[in-house]
Every structure is written in structure tokens, then in C-alpha cells.
Amino acid sequence: MSDEIEEKARSRWILFLSVLIDSLFLVLWVVVHYFVGLFIERIELSGIDKWVLEAFRIIFSLSTLIPVILFFYEDISIMYFRVKKRLDEEKERH
């Protein structure tokens, strides 16, 4: 019984830390994106230079945000399927 409780606690702790780390990455992404935006506003570019820099900014934003979203999705999916499995097991018992 104690091993089972310890295993459940460890599993929940790992999931909690995963979501916390994902959240910290998202906050870091927002902070970096904000400061990059401030930096770009200070640079006085025009014409094609401005468009190229803006295109790179968008590509950078998406390419760094997508992995964070995927990790969030993965962690939340794991939690969902574990809860669903536990509920299905309870249904079978009753």
C-alpha cells in the first residue's frame, strides 16, 4: 500500500513539475518576445529591411512558441488519460 501511494505521489509530482516548467517556458517566451519587440521599435528601419526583420520576428515567435504549446499539450494529455483510465477502472468495479 505504501509503495502504491509513493508511486502515485511521485507521478503527480513529476506532472506538476512538468506543467510548472512548461509555464515558465511560456513566461520566458512572452518576456523575450516583448523585449525583442521593444528593441525592434527602437531601430529605425524602412522598406524591405523592416519587412524582412518583421518576417524573421514572426518566424522566430512561432518556431519558439510551437514546442512550448506541444509540451503543454503532451503533459495535459497524459493527465487526462490517467484520470480517464482511473475513472474507467472505478466504473468497472461498481
Q: What is the pLDDT of residue 59?
A: 92
Q: What is the pLDDT of residue 64?
A: 87
39 phi and psi angles, rounded to 5 deg: -65, -45
Question: For the chain, what are the domain ranges?
Answer: 2-93
Q: What is the pLDDT of residue 91?
A: 86
Give the model's confidence band at 31: pLDDT under 50 very low, under 70 low, under 90 confident, else very high: very high
pTM for the model = 0.68
Tell the residue number behind the cell numbers 528593441, with chain if given. Answer: 39
Q: Which residues contact 65 (CB under 8 A, 6 or more apart)?
A: 29
Q: What is the pLDDT of residue 1?
A: 61
Q: Euclidean distance between the first and final Cα of the chain, in Å?
A: 21
Q: Which residues contact 40 (CB under 8 A, 6 or more apart)?
A: 53, 54, 57
